[in-house]
Every structure is written in C-alpha cells, then in structure tokens.
Amino acid sequence: MARRVYTLQDHLKKSLKNPTFRKAWEESELEYQIAQAVIDSKKA
C-alpha cells in the first residue's frame, strides 16, 4: 500500500483552519510582499 506524501500545501491547509494561525498568516502578507519586492529588485 502506497503512502501519500504530506506536503507543505497539506500542512498549510490544515494550519489555516486554526483561527490564531490564520490571523498571523494574514497579518504577515504585507511583510511578505515587501520582502518579495526587495528580492525581485536584486534580481533585475
């Protein structure tokens, strides 16, 4: 019997059901976008 691989997406989907985790995840979106913009500017 083959075992299913537990992926990051599986973990995130499960974790986002926790209201405390979801709130922290959503609050970090702006920080993520800023960091991504800095990374992208360094690539150019």
pLDDT value at residue 2: 85
For residues 18 and 12, the answer to whether their CB atoms sit within 8 Å is no
pLDDT value at residue 23: 97
pLDDT value at residue 44: 77
pLDDT tens string 1-44: 789 999 999 999 999 999 999 999 999 999 999 999 999 999 87
Cβ count within 10 A of residue 15: 13
pTM over 0.85: no
Half-sphere exposure of 30 (CA within 13 A, CB side): 2
pLDDT value at residue 9: 96
Q: How many residues does the chain have?
A: 44
